[in-house]
A and B are shown apart, each in its own frame.
Chain A
Amino acid sequence: MGAQLRIYRRRMRSVKATKKITKAMELISASRIVKAQQRVAASTPYANELTRAVSAVATYSSTNHPLTTASERPIRAAILIISADRGMAGAYSNNAIKEGEQLAALLRERGLEVKPYLVGRKAVGYYKFRDRQIAGQWTGFSDNPTYENAKEVADALIKAFIADAQTDAAGVDEIHIVFTEFKSMLIQNAMAKRMLPLEVVESDAPAPAGLLPMYEFEPNAGVVLDALLPRYIEARVFNAMLQSAASEHAARRRAMKSATDNADDLIKSLTRLANAARQAEITQEISEIVGGADALASASAGSE
């Protein structure tokens, strides 16, 4: 076998091995998207009910709760960025991180100091590499977040929010969240939303029909808000994490699908090249034999 042919064959073998891996990853992600979507759907009733409740309390009570009133002189803002733990998902993590950068720039323009809270190894790596300060980080559950994970993150955020930003360096006046919205198998958007102080308008939940009922609060509106808002933030964070997880799987499936397609193309063109090399080798061998025979024939003809 000629050297050229051997090189082509070797490259084909390596591309084929890579294709097997990407194909497997594509299939795994495809099956996980469905599961992740189901989890998003399963968490929706709770989130919707909570949103309704928070809207009702915020609308009908005149309580001045720290979680609903904006600070007059905000100093610091927290950004929660939800990214992936693993790569191989195309631009998924990058998009979320970029969206976070834009939001941070916007906040800085308003004169706020930005405190990043990061979920997922990719975002942590990005910030560490640039030697930036990280206010909080959580890794290891980006593709399958549980409510406990969300609770942990939300607790840290609420704690920072409740701390007085004017006197405490760990306190923040605003909390923003950057996550990847799962619209469909094909469309996922990185987006930034303000969580606190509350803007009680949920875009993805259908607005409750008609007027909200005049609730009687037990024991009173203040206590209800106290209990309700942390749960509301937890549910929002949880929902964002679940949507991001579904988006991550979808992005990974798409990236791996195009990798598999590329491997197919590569194998095809390498096969062509290998065939051409083999043919050239045969042609060369034939012309060498013919040439040799000719030389022998003319040599023996000359001696007679």
Chain B
Amino acid sequence: MTLKVELVSPTQRVWSGEATSVSARTVEGDIGVLTDHSPLFGVLVDGQVVIHGTNGDATEFKVSGGFLSVANNRVSILTESVN
């Protein structure tokens, strides 16, 4: 079982694919998402989003604010800008 992850900004789809886990920083603190996580909608603060792909390597993104939504093993990270 894997997570379907999408990291999108207003101008493009930055990253999409399968991953084993995702971690991000919400207004309440750091959060890690594994498979079969309960549906969650969080507000992100400026910080890092790390996506651990199924092939073992981790991809890091610096996002400035945004949202994290998790449901049915689908994770979408919406952010205004990524670098």
Contacts and interface: CB of A to CB of B under 8 A. Distances in A.
A42 B80 contact: no
Given A49-B78, A215-B40, A42 B13 contact: yes
B54 interface: no
Interface in B53-83: 65, 67, 69, 71-72, 76, 78, 80
Contacts of B6: 45, 49
A219 interface: yes
Contact of A50 (B40, B65, B72, B78): B78
A39 interface: yes
A46 B9 contact: yes
B4 to A, nearest CB: 12
Contacts, number: 81
Contact of A213 (B9, B27, B28, B39): B39
B43 A224 contact: yes
A42 B10 CA distance: 8
Contacts of B42: 217-218, 224
B39 A228 contact: no
Interface in B10-64: 10-13, 26-28, 31, 38-43
Given A49-B6, A53-B67, A228-B67, A218 B78 contact: no
Given A46-B8, A216-B41, A217-B40, 12 more contacts: A42-B13, A45-B13, A50-B78, A53-B41, A53-B69, A53-B78, A57-B41, A216-B38, A216-B39, A218-B43, A219-B43, A231-B67
Interface string A218-229: 110001100110
* Residue of B26, B28, B39 with most chain A CB atoms under a 10 A cut-off: B39
A43 B10 contact: yes
A238 interface: yes
Contact of A215 (B9, B10, B41): B41
B69 A49 contact: yes
B67 to A, nearest CB: 6
B48 to A, nearest CB: 18
Nearest to A57: B41
A243 to B, nearest CB: 14
Interface string A272-293: 0000000000000000000000
26 contacts: A42-B11, A45-B6, A46-B78, A49-B6, A49-B69, A52-B69, A53-B69, A57-B41, A147-B10, A147-B11, A216-B40, A216-B41, A217-B40, A217-B42, A218-B27, A218-B40, A219-B27, A219-B28, A223-B27, A224-B41, A224-B67, A227-B43, A228-B43, A228-B67, A234-B10, A238-B10
A222 to B, nearest CB: 11
A61 B11 CA distance: 29
Contacts of B26: 218-219
A49 B76 contact: yes
Interface string A43-59: 10111011011001100
B5 to A, nearest CB: 12
A53 B69 CA distance: 8
* Residue of A39, A46, A228 with most chain B CB atoms under a 10 A cut-off: A46
Nearest to A43: B10
Contacts of A231: 67, 78, 80
Nearest to A50: B78
Contacts of A297: none
A235 interface: yes
